[in-house]
Amino acid sequence: MIKDIKIISKKYHIKESNKLEVALKHGAYSAIKRGFEIGSNGIYEEVNKSGLRGKGGGGAPAGAKWKLLLKPDARPKYLVVNSDESEPGTFKDRTILEKDPHLLIEGIILTCYAIGANNAYVYIRGEYAMPAKILQNAIDEAYNAGILGKKVMGYDFSLDVTIHRGAGAYICGEKSALLESLEGKRGHPRLKPKGKEPEWYFGNPTLVNNVETIASVPFIVENTGDEYKKYGTSESPGTLLFGISGHVNNPGIYEAPFGTPMIDYINEFAGGVRGGKKLKAVIPGGSSCAVLTADEVKKATLDYETMQSLGSSLGTGGMIVMDEDTDMVAVLKNLMGFYHHESCGQCTPCREGTGWIDRTLEKIIKKEGTEDDIKILLKTADTMNGKTICVFAPAVSTVVYNFIKKFRSEFENYLGQKNG
């Protein structure tokens, strides 16, 4: 039985929980007092002690990223909240924006105070028109109540929060491409620095964190990092808003502690595979994660380390469930059509490779392929891996390789069967 733990989603069942009046009645902004009492360094220490990891896909320790912003610097510092959430199969951050935007604002206040930033930007994907409107209403309420502005809740700290709408580019979920877009330029990823350093917004030190990561901060500050570590595993502490879609009876967003058995999550929260059919495969963390077979799912737990041991990744916890009747070749073709369209085109292996794979899969789907086409898919995937600026192409390479490795017979069944 999965423990019913609600850190992020505790207000989701409350009517009009996105409104300030309702949120305040249920504990909103209660962590601010302790945050200002323990000071900026105290907030950082609690977050670092908690083991909080980034919940936007990478899983990097939040404390390590924050520490890069704590060095004395005469330049202004910024917080950028990544709410692009354009990964197929992922829709958890949207629920925070819609159901508890004041939790995010509370987390923004505490984070900005900790790193010494007086301006925060929330970068929201262009398609999220309604969530953006709800968040803006919450921000307006916070300004009118004195929660944001020149004196945050009466304390000697000023903070402005601004929403920036993206234009629908998948690549802008990558933090450096997001910052390029925020600066008004084409959303192309930046070259990674040789050493550890913060991100840069117009040449100023900047922290980029995912929506759910920032929304986790109020609980940690109010209840301590040790309390947060009571949930999850030693290496993956806390909870995640796991999303589940596809061939299940109850698709949706359900919060669970890291380390939860994947098969239990599918059966208990999502009601199992629909129609009483057998499970065939699951993409565990959004479409760019390596697919898992049913046998792998049965021994998998929902944490970063286990997923890595299975050759996949937890990503954003957006599970896509497929039943026994799923055509895995058609699934890969659907995914590659998306990635072909969304490649930003900056790097040749990615720009040309995604198109080549997409066209080769179309040839196979039409039953015009040969064994050489499967070899071409694998060779092209290998060419894309590790030879580009960002992780887009390596992720696509991993997806292609794993689909063919684990379901090769389905690809071979399409060969030598010309339509006629």
**Domains, the chain, with CATH or none:** 20-228 (3.40.50.11540), 239-323 (3.10.20.600), 328-413 (1.20.1440.230)
Instruction: Give residue 46's identity as a one-letter amino acid code.
Output: E
Percent of the chain's residues with pLDDT above 70: 99
- Alpha-carbon distance of 120 to 165, in angstroms, equals 14
Whether residue 381 has pLDDT greater than 50: yes
pLDDT tier, 258 (very low <50, low <70, confident <90, very high otherwise): very high
Do residues 300 and 306 lie in contact, with contact meaning Cβ atoms separated by under 8 Å? yes
What is residue 2's predicted lDDT score, i.e. its pLDDT? 80
Phi, psi (rounded to 5 degrees) for 404: -70, -40
pLDDT tier, 155 (very low <50, low <70, confident <90, very high otherwise): very high
Whether residue 221 has pLDDT greater than 50: yes
Q: What is the CA radius of gyration of the chain?
A: 22
Whether residue 262 has pLDDT greater than 60: yes
Give the ranges where 235-347 is alpha helix by DSSP (H). Answer: 262-268, 294-298, 304-309, 328-342
- Alpha-carbon distance of 156 to 143, in angstroms, equals 15
Phi, psi (rounded to 5 degrees) for 9: -100, 20
Report the b/e string of 53-68 with b at 16+ CB within 10 A: bbbbbbbeebbebbbe
- Alpha-carbon distance of 209 to 82, in angstroms, equals 6
Mean pLDDT, rounded, for 385-409 = 96
Per-residue pLDDT reduced to its tens digit, 206-219: 999 999 999 999 99
Residue 146: name the closest of 111, 97, 109 by CA. 109
Please return the burial class of 400, using the count of CB atoms within 10 Å of its CB with bins 0-12, 13-18 and 19+.
buried
Structure tokens, 221: 């500050």
pLDDT tier, 418 (very low <50, low <70, confident <90, very high otherwise): low
Percent of the chain's residues with pLDDT above 90: 96
Residue 215: name the closest of 23, 414, 3, 412 by CA. 23
What is residue 1's predicted lDDT score, i.e. its pLDDT? 74
Whether residue 33 has pLDDT greater than 50: yes
Say whether pTM exceeds 0.75.
Answer: yes
Whether residue 291 has pLDDT greater than 90: yes
Do residues 199 and 191 lie in contact, with contact meaning Cβ atoms separated by under 8 Å? no
Per-residue pLDDT reduced to its tens digit, 36-68: 999 999 999 999 999 999 999 989 999 999 999
Mean pLDDT, rounded, for 115-138 = 97
pLDDT tier, 96 (very low <50, low <70, confident <90, very high otherwise): very high
Mean pLDDT, rounded, for 349-376 = 97
Residue 164: name the closest of 192, 199, 201, 198 by CA. 201
Whether residue 396 has pLDDT greater than 90: yes
- Alpha-carbon distance of 415 to 417, in angstroms, equals 5
- Alpha-carbon distance of 77 to 200, in angstroms, equals 9
Per-residue pLDDT reduced to its tens digit, 66-87: 999 998 999 999 999 999 999 9
Mean pLDDT of the chain: 96
- Alpha-carbon distance of 114 to 268, in angstroms, equals 38
Do residues 130 and 18 lie in contact, with contact meaning Cβ atoms separated by under 8 Å? no
What is residue 417's predicted lDDT score, i.e. its pLDDT? 60
- Alpha-carbon distance of 384 to 388, in angstroms, equals 7
Structure tokens, 268: 């208990």
If DSSP codes are grouped into helix, strand and coil, which group holds residue 42? helix
CA distances from 240 to 55, 177, 273, 285 (A): 7, 25, 22, 11
Do residues 294 and 279 lie in contact, with contact meaning Cβ atoms separated by under 8 Å? yes
pLDDT tier, 297 (very low <50, low <70, confident <90, very high otherwise): very high
Per-residue pLDDT reduced to its tens digit, 156-178: 999 999 999 999 999 999 999 99
Structure tokens, 175: 């933090």
- Alpha-carbon distance of 321 to 284, in angstroms, equals 8
